[in-house]
Structure 1
Amino acid sequence: MTTRRSLLRNGVMGLAALAALAGCVPTVDYRGYLPRGDDLQKVQVGMSKSEVEALLGSPSTTATVKYHGDSFYYISSVVEQEAFFKPEVVDRQIFAIRFDESDRVQSFANYGLEDGRIIDFNTRETPTRGKELSILQELFRNVGRFDPGGQGPGAGPMGPGPF
């Protein structure tokens, strides 16, 4: 009877250990679209925009501002997440094609994760110039600036003036 209980307990403990280890295995997520390497090598300077789109398919995104022509971007990312931790981008490939005013390929380039920086568009924070103060600095920033005589600007019940 006791051997049966110990076997059952060991089996349950083993399953719990396997479940804990399974939670540590990263989840890999592939996002975006990057054309095959042999298709990318077929892109040539002077090709029309429609030829590029027929060869590579629709781009992931295009330039939002046409400065000296349009641009196509084919973007692919690999994101890993372990358990409940924040997802991390481990690889990113971008194939950028710049067109001139007549919609002909002017230049193209490959970029990787090391060529850029990650920007979080969803922080809902606006960076400002100047000093960022801690809570203690905010509380004590006026220590030593007290004017008991009330002779400074804005002194008196009615603001600056003879009062």
Structure 2
Amino acid sequence: VYDQKTQSGEIVLFVVYKKSPEKFAPLVKEIKKHLLKRGGWSITDVLPIRKLPKTTSGKVKRYELARQYEAGNFSTESAAINEYLESSPETSGQTPIHEIETELLSIFSDVLNGKKVHLADSYFDMGANSLQLSQIAERIEQKFGRELAVSDLFT
């Protein structure tokens, strides 16, 4: 899908899922982490759908879901899932105890377009791509006057 705010293409994943959205939400983090780790894909949103839209002849309407997403048709579901993920006990991170930790969390969040990041999050949990990691390393160098290799952020 095309994101007007970032003026770039984003990956949104639609998963056929027929159980309740509350049961789907815990799977989202694992799906994003798996796809980033295995394929390097940074997924913006993972949303459940009851069925794939198809033509009368049975072909999948590939762009229909993207069009609906861009029109805001999935904003309620997306917000509910993200709210659940931010408030769930397994995803809530430690509280920053030092001003450096607070500053680092702020840098990560800024570069990741406001995404809430926790101290215990790994590279895969954050969903950062290599360009974002380069930007983060650069901002850390500017803020703290220390050289930092992007590879350090992987660890």
What is the TM-score normalised by the length of structure 2?
A: 0.18
Q: Computing the radius of gyration over CA atoms, which structure comes out larger, 1 or 2?
A: 1
Larger relative CO (CA 8 A, sep 6+): 1 or 2? 2
User: Could you say which structure has the higher strand fraction?
Assistant: 1
